[in-house]
Chain A
């Protein structure tokens, strides 16, 4: 029966995360972007919210809360409302924890998940993207070859969040075995693995507070027990979970830009009245409000399908596409509402626009 209301637990989580994003993240977003660094105490405070630990089952030391893609989307949206780069950093450990929970063998879960239940932030990441224009997450150029009892990785990844600190990475590679057509497999790799070279920090237009690096794999050896299970459907499910989280983050950024522009337009006066009283501005703001709601409804639909263990490839794809386009349009309009002031770094809307530009390009930077 159709219902668009979060349950009580989800509402509580949303309110808690929203307060943190507004009170703790937002005031430090500009400085973090300028310095290219997120304050360590903010990361620890974010960790203490338990957004990662809570989804780990009790037997592995976590709180064992029921995990839901909708709840994950709610968390991602609210954090991203504060700041996208900081949200991605805080949620980066989920990039390993969620895939292991979903598709890991029991042995892998036992060895990996307890690490995410400690007192301190546990840096982890995913290496999904590759430095080429025609990158396709479902057909990585990074190759995985079987060699005796182990596998060898060769190739390159880019835009790996928290790559400077992550102790382990989820990696997406194409298994090439000479029998079947190459197909994507997900696996875990430790930072210290011989042959894995962590590259220099990347310099990006936005998300400047988030450290991203390249990874080079030079005949890098991984044992079979590090491979995730679930076959092609499992990989597609991971992709949908990434897309839902990124869609939710796009909602958060768009909502932030809308709120910022609305408040400015009500204050700023021209021709004897607030500019929000002019239809040219008011209609832009109305469109933003309408689209933020539409974006969220589409995102939740994909998440809802994932929570029912149904194939959500179509819904997640459409949500990601729609939210990426709309987040860009809305943040651009927010800059436009502020006019010249929007272009100046005293205001946050230019940061929202630079960050929102990333959504259409990103794959695997967050997971619901």
Chain B
């Protein structure tokens, strides 16, 4: 039965996190954008305590991940992330929690690994985990990574360089947290995709170095790190999934399945930023007595009204695609196609919506006195990370055409 209304539980989550976004994130958003590479510890600690005490926030999601049967888990995450990103996308990304590394452990780890690594997120101090896939010479083509994992007695030995690792500093530097990084590496280059495995590397493991943090266009409150692995030795049982190299690329598909869970979350974050821009634009138009008249014949609408309605409809279209992808996952349905649709649409839409809002408001939109120009800079990352718009279109195309990656490359 079709229903677009959030359950009262999710509506309450949204309400609470909206207050957090409005009162704890917005006031410091500009500051941490200007002071890149400074960690917003007060905010991080507050959110960690809040999630422990009230059961609200991404910290709650971390605990929920260990309770896989929980109803509406993925949709709840999307609702929460949209609100927090409405507050500030950079601060949301900077928050402690299992993040993408935790998602990978949840998706591919053994029960023992889940218990061992995810229990860290139940402690008193903030903990991060991160996911290291991209390399200087391998972005979208994640099967082309060069980082190697070689078995040596009781250990795996990692060598290679990873870049663009979100929260790589907080997860990988032991002075920041007792975190871990999930690292993609190949155990057999000649095997191609089938040889790619993921490994859990604890913060402070000798041989793993946080080499630098990138200077970025937006989401500056969140660190984006380069990690270098030089003969980095980790225990054998830190591999996620089987160490065997199968004849087919099934294993790689399993690793890629993590994205089915994370892409709707990125889409939700994008939508939060887009909504922030649209809300701001609506308030400004109201202040200037420019109405948005729904139901009016198109000839009588101003250009601004038309633009606004298009932005609004596109944003809602992206939100509904996102909710659907999360809802399917909550029902245990395969959502690979739908997750890519949500991500591709949301990334594109918020890029356009925020840029249009800056255009409509002219000098007011371009000024650093308000947050709109920042949201435009923040929004763009959603069109890129966790699979660019184009990679997601490629996935959609393969699915609707029934093509393998060989048939459509």
Contacts and interface: CB of A to CB of B under 8 A. Distances in A.
Contacts of B295: 138, 236, 239-240, 313-314, 316-317
- Give the residue among B3, B314, B394, B401 with the most A Cβ atoms within 10 A: B401
Interface string B324-343: 10010000000000100100
Interface in A208-260: 236, 239-240
B382 to A, nearest CB: 16
A217 to B, nearest CB: 21
Contacts of A5: 1-2
B7 interface: yes
Interface string A257-279: 00000100110000000001101
Q: What does DSSP make chain A's interface, helix, strand, loop or mixed?
A: helix
Interface string B3-16: 11111001000000
Contacts of A318: 294, 309, 312-313, 316
A363 to B, nearest CB: 8
B321 A294 contact: yes
B308 to A, nearest CB: 10
A344 interface: no
A58 interface: no
A1 B297 contact: no
Q: What bracket does the count of chain A residues touching chain B fall in?
A: 35 or more
Given A266-B401, A286-B396, A313-B295, A3 B344 contact: no
B297 A304 contact: no
Contact of B397 (A236, A282, A294, A325): A282
Given A134-B297, A285-B397, A286-B396, A1 B3 contact: yes
Interface stretch (A110-118, A142-150, A169-177, A295-303): A295-303
Given A2-B75, A314-B294, A289 B5 contact: no
A137 interface: yes
B72 interface: yes
Nearest to B324: A4
A198 B330 CA distance: 56
B397 A297 contact: no
Nearest to B1: A7
A286 B393 CA distance: 6
A287 B393 contact: yes
B79 to A, nearest CB: 9
A337 B296 CA distance: 35
A300 B316 CA distance: 12
Interface of B: 1-7, 10, 72, 75, 294-300, 309-310, 312-314, 316-318, 320-321, 323-324, 327, 338, 341, 344-345, 390, 393-394, 396-397, 400-401, 403, 407-408
Interface of A: 1-7, 10, 70, 133-139, 236, 239-240, 262, 265-266, 276-277, 279, 282-283, 285-287, 289-290, 293-295, 297-298, 300-301, 303-305, 313-314, 316-319, 321-322, 325, 360
6 contacts: A4-B324, A7-B1, A262-B400, A282-B393, A282-B394, A282-B403
